[in-house]
Amino acid sequence: MNKNLDSLTEYPFYFLRELLSTVENNPEETLGLHIGEPKNIPPKEALNLLNKHSDLYSKYPTSKGEYFLRESYCNWLKSRFGIKSIDSDKNVLPISGSREGIFSFIQATIDTSKKNPTVIIPNPFYKIYEGAATMADASTYYVNSLEENNFKPNFKDIPENVLKDCQLLILCSPSNPTGYCIDKDEYLYLLNLAERYDFLVCSDECYTDIYESSHASPPGLLESCDITENNSKAVVFHSLSKRSNLAGLRSGFITANESIINDLLLYRTYHGVTLSLPTQMASSWAWDDSSHVEKNRRDYDKKYEIAISALQDVPKIMRPPGGFYIWLKVPSDDQLFAKRLYEESNVIVLPGSYLAIENERVNPGKGFVRIAIVHEAEIIEQALTAVNQTYTKV
């Protein structure tokens, strides 16, 4: 087998299972807030379209996707990010969710004929980035996102030798797990760096539609560049999993300049991952419609309101700028906290140290737990009240 498999590490949930394995709880009463899976229901209209067109499951879909779907991507990008120019024939491609899209993009991109190909990754991070770099034979360089900087990844201090070897710099905004949102100036700074050192900025924006209703929407990388320019360094990933509560549909898309999209289309023709025609129809609707997304945001407003007020003994607790997590600093070791919470209340949260690695003598996830604020009101109230209790005791 491919030797790089030996370097792939297990997923955070594997370590979580190990941590909690000695505790005997009633699994039917467990409240699991460790997984970032939306619990709001998917829009009926999208499901109806899947059903209505189910005869099309007989047909092979193409890697490029249908025109109507690519048009929906572009119309949404224009209205969401205010961009003027984008070509549905040249700048977008469907992917089967951001995990698949990012993993395969990194395989198709890393050039091992160059010296020490390097991927720069914020820390803490979504595990896929690391595993994809490993499988693509690339080195990784981590950039810590620390509380003292409001969880802004410290991109300013990347050494020049790393920038010279860098082929991809990965962003996640709103960040999983911290909720930090990158601003336009930062995007511009990174795109300039990418020009100077000739690497791509790969922006995972799958949480971009989850933010407080009364606030401005988080900026996207596309607002700081012109993706129709052939030397554009931006590559952006979007998904319906969070926006439309369609995590199981596995539907998203990638945006990049024409030359990258051409290369990816060739790669993906062999890679063989496509969206069925019914999925394309439902997805097109979900990118076109904004009312279900606004309703979704109002639901998250309520969820966070309940969560924040349940955490009454946590000083300065605030909803983060984007995403649907609370990245909670706990007054003890994060693994101990998660285990004690599970023992005392049968509530599961994810230790932050599982989402980060030790880098510059610190694991920036250590001392934090990630709590998904996705369930219905009663569960959030019960679970976060339990979190608050454990918080006051440790």
Residues forming the site for its own copies (CB under 8 A):
1-3, 5, 8, 10-11, 35, 37-42, 46-47, 50-51, 54-61, 96-97, 99-100, 102-104, 107-113, 127-128, 131-132, 135-136, 241, 245-250, 260, 263, 266-267, 269-274, 276-278
Number of H-type helices and E-type strands within the chain = 13, 12
Least distance in Å: CB of 227 to its own copies? Answer: 17
Query: Is the Cβ of residue 249 or residue 384 nearer to its own copies in the bound state?
Result: 249
Q: Is 331 helix (H, G, I), strand (E, B) or coil?
A: coil
Query: Is the Cβ of residue 59 or residue 302 nearer to its own copies in the bound state?
Result: 59
- Measured CA to CA, the distance from residue 239 to residue 246 in angstroms comes to 9
Least distance in Å: CB of 185 to its own copies? Answer: 29
Query: Is the Cβ of residue 28 or residue 55 nearer to its own copies in the bound state?
Result: 55
Q: Is 289 helix (H, G, I), strand (E, B) or coil?
A: coil
Q: Is 318 helix (H, G, I), strand (E, B) or coil?
A: coil
Helix axes 377-393, 291-310, angle to 10 degrees: 30
Q: How many Cα neighbours within 13 Å face the side chain of 105?
A: 32
Least distance in Å: CB of 39 to its own copies? Answer: 8
42-48-49-55 Cα dihedral, nearest 10 degrees: 130
Query: Is the Cβ of residue 269 or residue 312 nearer to its own copies in the bound state?
Result: 269
Query: Is the Cβ of residue 144 or residue 241 nearer to its own copies in the bound state?
Result: 241
Query: Is the Cβ of residue 260 or residue 314 nearer to its own copies in the bound state?
Result: 260
Least distance in Å: CB of 36 to its own copies? Answer: 9
Q: For CA atoms 17, 349, 334, 391, give the dihedral sign.
A: negative
Least distance in Å: CB of 253 to its own copies? Answer: 15
CA angle 334/320/340 to nearest 5° reads: 20
Least distance in Å: CB of 134 to its own copies? Answer: 8
> Which amino acid appears at position 161 of this protein?
N
